[in-house]
A and B are shown apart, each in its own frame.
Chain A
């Protein structure tokens, strides 16, 4: 599937159409508890909110609209009925409309990035965005896969761990600064493209009451995986989920000889 965009001067065009992914995750401040049957973590009755990296993605889309780089920003969430609250937060931050791909409860726990990226790819076929911005990873599974998989499925360029997005020098592409292990890397990508947001991309705004009220009137469309023709068959089986082992006390050593001696004692060094 190839989507060709008119490579006219970005500043002169109507602006990019942006699709932003938002995932509903357990709130970062909650103490996560493992279920007694060790099949997963407790989610029932636990506070959930938008994945912090996705908040940053939403903020970036809204800022690009304010800078007239983007013309329309659409938020999408793949999840249970409650994901609508997450989408409403995105709408309250300035997104124009939202799409909810509702996943039945039975399939929710086994949903993997491969499924989400396939669902998003299908939505891209009909929505035809110029730019997809996703959070670089979700704080519940830490996978850091959906953005990259989506780009591969669409055969679009990707710019992950973005800390800055701006038009390129000739205004025909996007110049993205990426945070990599070695430092910062700046690349130019042609649109359409997939970008994933890193922490320092921006600081998300607070949703003000007038915007919260305006959000109620913004369109929120519902879709199902069947409608999109995506098979949610799990590719992985979770064997068990356990608490990390309790950290044992360490011992202080006085010298290097002591250290080597202790390592020998424990059979860690010959």
Chain B
């Protein structure tokens, strides 16, 4: 196969995007440098604009998006390709600190612990812009800031919050949440990890957890285990486990199709002793913590595929207007106009759904039907938009120098994690059945 690269190849690689600072450096010290005489590279519209007027965002939220966009495009986007290639984010500790300084690791956490005390919608905006820059790191960010931090905010005692939140929010610690096991994914309440009560009131955990985001790096983990196996779903308890607990280890880092750089691992608990005051929420009442957490997790994570869809539009739409064939830019051919229109509608309608559910959730209205619905829709749409982006880039979409392939591999995860599409459909279907129950 012969791939013809367009002459302006360097414009399309997101890894080479200049920041405002680099732009000024190119202008040079001399004030006589004319604005229009520099290369087109500096002036191409590398980002498909977002019309914030459409979504009823407050002025602060619009400014928030601007800040996170600039931050992530500068600190994260240039490294996205390398992170994917190496299956590792070497600068994660530094990036976590930077996020901590901006308050991003505790958007929904109270200000007394260093959080922003802001809403789920604000958190979704942050997640979306980070996912646009690098979906893998955004997934780790989501797992830390929502799955771990937000669960502690919602269910932790004051002592647990004081002990864990400050360092999780400052970025000194990385957080994770572990519920799935090698034999319990969709059927998570059939988990077999045991938490046996000891004579001194503490618990001893035995078992393993699988597909745990941030597992290899986490300092603090929210873990679900069975304190009363015979009670099934109603025998689960939530525990807070620290990394240096004897008997705890991450046996391996998983080699994944996508989300490479978001370290995922298998966690082994071999007689891990957890003191009684590390039980979060009610004893044997963990299923409530788990299920309600899942709803919020689904809403927040749905901003992930949203960011991927935006990135797909950023990459593909620009390419379609630079690449020429048969005497004009390919974006002017009808079949591609159709594709771009579909990508646009998926993105915009997805955004409306995510923001609406986020607003409702922020006001205290949690509907499992919509939390499942929003991630179901956005995830499947993101996969489709990523496929369209690859197709628009044609041969170049198939080369790993271009981001389209990575977008597809990253998007696919969202159809699986936080409940597969199948489970999400069950949740919605059953909720509808419930409405009509006589």
- Residues of A near any B CB (own CB < 8 A): 28-32, 47, 49, 52-53, 55, 85, 88-89, 92, 136-137, 139-142, 144, 161, 179, 181, 198-199, 203, 206-210, 212-213, 216, 243-244
Contact = CB atoms under 8 A, between A and B. Distances in A.
Interface string B390-425: 000000000000000000000000000000000000
Output the residue of B20, B37, B59, B101 with the most chain A CB within 10 A.
B20
A208 B116 CA distance: 10
B183 interface: no
A212 B67 contact: yes
A209 B118 contact: yes
Given A52-B20, A139-B35, A206-B102, 8 more contacts: A29-B47, A53-B24, A92-B63, A136-B31, A142-B31, A208-B67, A209-B118, A212-B67
Given A161-B29, A206-B70, A210-B103, A199 B21 contact: yes
Contact of B24 (A30, A47, A52, A206): A52
Contacts of A179: 29
B329 interface: no
Contacts of B33: 142
A64 to B, nearest CB: 21
B313 to A, nearest CB: 16
Interface stretch (B38-46, B88-96, B239-247): B38-46
B171 to A, nearest CB: 14
Q: Nearest 4 pairs between A and B by C-beta?
A: A144-B31, A52-B20, A31-B43, A244-B36
Contact of A208 (B31, B44, B66, B102): B102
9 contacts: A29-B45, A32-B35, A52-B21, A53-B24, A92-B63, A141-B35, A142-B34, A181-B29, A199-B21
A182 to B, nearest CB: 11
Interface string B52-65: 00000001100110
A213 B67 CA distance: 13
Nearest to B17: A29
B363 interface: no
B49 interface: yes
Nearest to B102: A208
B23 interface: yes
Contact of B45 (A31, A49, A139, A206): A31
A58 to B, nearest CB: 13
B237 to A, nearest CB: 35
B30 interface: yes
Nearest to B50: A47
B34 to A, nearest CB: 7
A175 to B, nearest CB: 20
Given A140-B35, A206-B70, A28 B20 contact: yes
B30 A199 contact: no
Contacts of B36: 32, 243-244
Q: Give the secondary structure class of B's interface.
A: helix
Contacts of A53: 24
A53 B27 CA distance: 12
A138 B64 CA distance: 25
A208 B21 contact: no
Given A29-B45, A32-B36, A52-B23, A206 B31 contact: no
B20 A207 contact: no
Contacts of A181: 29-30
A92 B62 CA distance: 13
B44 A31 contact: yes
A179 to B, nearest CB: 6
A203 to B, nearest CB: 7
Contacts of A140: 35
Contacts of B344: none
Contacts of A208: 67, 101-103
Nearest to B71: A206
Contacts of B64: 209, 212
A88 B63 contact: yes
Contacts of A213: 60
B266 interface: no
B381 interface: no
Contact of B23 (A28, A142, A206): A28
Nearest to A143: B31
A81 to B, nearest CB: 14
Contact of A142 (B35, B66, B70, B71): B35
A71 to B, nearest CB: 25
Contact of B103 (A89, A137, A199, A209): A209
B295 interface: no
B85 to A, nearest CB: 26
B284 interface: no
Nearest to A136: B31
A28 B36 CA distance: 12
Contacts of B34: 142
B122 interface: yes
B59 A88 contact: yes
A262 B172 CA distance: 65
Contacts of B365: none
Given A29-B46, A53-B24, A206-B71, A212 B63 contact: yes
B24 A212 contact: no
Output the residue of B42, B67, B122 with the most chain A CB within 10 A.
B67
Contacts of A88: 59, 63
